[in-house]
Amino acid sequence: MAEVGFVGLGVMGSGVARRLLEAGHTLTVWNRTREKAEPLLDAGAHWAETARDVAERSDIVFTMVTNTAAVKAVTEGADGILAGLAPGKVYVDMSTASPANTRALAEQVAAIGAQMLDAPVSGSVITLEEGKLSIMVGGEPGAFERVKPLLEAIGPRVFHLGPNGTAVTMKIAINLSLAVQMLAFSEGVLLAEKSGIARERAVEVMLASVIASPMLAYRGPFVLEHPEEAWFDCRMMQKDMNLALELGREVEVPLPTTAVTNEFLTAANAIGVGEKDFAALFDVLASMSGVKTEVVA
């Protein structure tokens, strides 16, 4: 069993941290707001006063935060993770952030004598709870082998892709398809609905058809009723779409459907549903189609 630290206890981060705790590891946690840590503390985790304290008390420290800026916020400075790392430790960033920043951060970690892995996940709260997450990993093979048992406690499908930055690149390549699929699904539902087919029936039939995917299976029903707490909100998704577009320009891959879908996310933010799950793409398109929803009347 390892001394494990975890920084970033959002919806997914809390779930991932809990699986590590349930696997029997000693867990030390920190989050900007302590209240999000309380369920884990009640289950036996230990509280740290800073991200640096987490790193100092852990052999392997994980982060799962919002974006590149948030990664920098928890790693840099006197109270950051870098200040608490030491030779022999491993830092695992599960955030979806800039590949360039990931590579630069890995160099900083290596200069300390520690090792870094980027290890974003593919899946949702449901796949996490079911133990079906996929995890992509970038970094040195030795560090990967050391951390692999912990990753397998989080999700059974763990893929080592190459050096630092490759895993987060793969995550961006996957995530752009989530939003594009959701928009295409929304087009189909609304086309059926405005032609006289009940929305509920259209969703049922479409999710039983060849277009069904694991993502649509759990997010498709959100066009009928949004979850109380967004699993992956529009602003977070747009962050990933912008990362994809930036990377596309860098490697000269045109991303036309990503660009169009990104504009619908801009519209979602503009009409006040940016904090809703990105299934709100349906609500944006519905509004443009003259169809009322629970979110946009």
Task: Return the CATH number at 196.
Answer: 1.10.1040.10
Same domain? For 194 and 123 the reply is no
pLDDT score at 213: 94
Q: Does residue 275 lie in a domain region?
A: yes
Catalytic residues: 171
Q: Name the DSSP letter for residue 205.
A: H
Summary mean pLDDT of the chain: 96
Separation CA 230–CA 15 (nearest Å): 14
Do 224 and 279 lie in one domain? The reply is: yes
DSSP 157: E
24: left (phi over 0), alpha (psi -120 to 50) or beta: left
Whether residue 88 is found in the same domain as residue 177: no
Q: How deeply is 11 buried, as exposed, middle or buried, from its count of CB atoms within 10 A (0-12, 13-18, 19+)?
A: middle
201 and 107 within one domain: no
- Residue pair 268/234 in contact by the 8 Å Cβ criterion: yes
Residue 295 lies in a domain: no
Here the tokens at position 159 are 């893929």
Residue 34 carries which DSSP code? G
- Of 71, 60, 53, nearest to 2 by C-alpha is 60
The backbone torsions φ and ψ at residue 236, rounded to the nearest 5 degrees and listed phi first, read -65, -45
Domain termination residue (choose one: 112, 134, 163) = 163
> Does residue 7 belong to any structural domain of this protein?
yes
118: enclosing H helix or E strand = strand 115-118
Residues 85 and 14 in one domain: yes
**Do 152 and 187 share a domain, yes or no?**
no
Q: Which domain holds residue 151?
A: 3-163
* Residue 297 pLDDT class (50, 70, 90 cuts): low
Same domain, 66 and 117: yes
Q: 220 and 284: one domain? A: yes
**Do 10 and 132 share a structural domain?**
yes
Q: Assign residue 90 the CATH number of its domain.
A: 3.40.50.720
- Residues 55-70 have a mean pLDDT of 97
Residue 1 pLDDT class (50, 70, 90 cuts): confident
Residue 29 and residue 34: Cα distance in Å, rounded?
A: 9
Q: Considering the domain boundaries, does residue 297 fall inside one? A: no
Chain segment 168-179, per-residue pLDDT in tens: 999 999 999 999
Let me know if residue 296 belongs to a domain: no
pLDDT at 126 > cutoff 90: no
Q: Both 230 and 281 in a single domain? A: yes
236 to 113, 145, 193, 260: CA distances (angstroms): 33, 30, 29, 17
| 246 and 130 together in one domain | no
pLDDT in tens, 17-26: 999 999 999 9
Which of 128, 163, 198 is a domain's end point?
A: 163
Q: Are 123 and 150 in contact (CB under 8 A)?
A: no
User: Average of pLDDT values for 130-159?
Assistant: 95
Say how many domains are in the chain: 2
Task: Give the residue from 134, 163, 192 where a domain finishes.
Answer: 163
What number of H helices and E strands is found in the chain? 14, 9
Return the exposure string of 68-97: e unless at least 16 CB atoms fall within 10 Å of the residue's CB, then b: bebbbbbbeeeebbbbbbeeebbbbbbbbb
* Structure-block tokens of residue 201: 């029936």
Regarding whether 123 and 15 lie in a shared domain, the answer is: yes
List pLDDT tens digits, range 103-113: 999 999 999 99
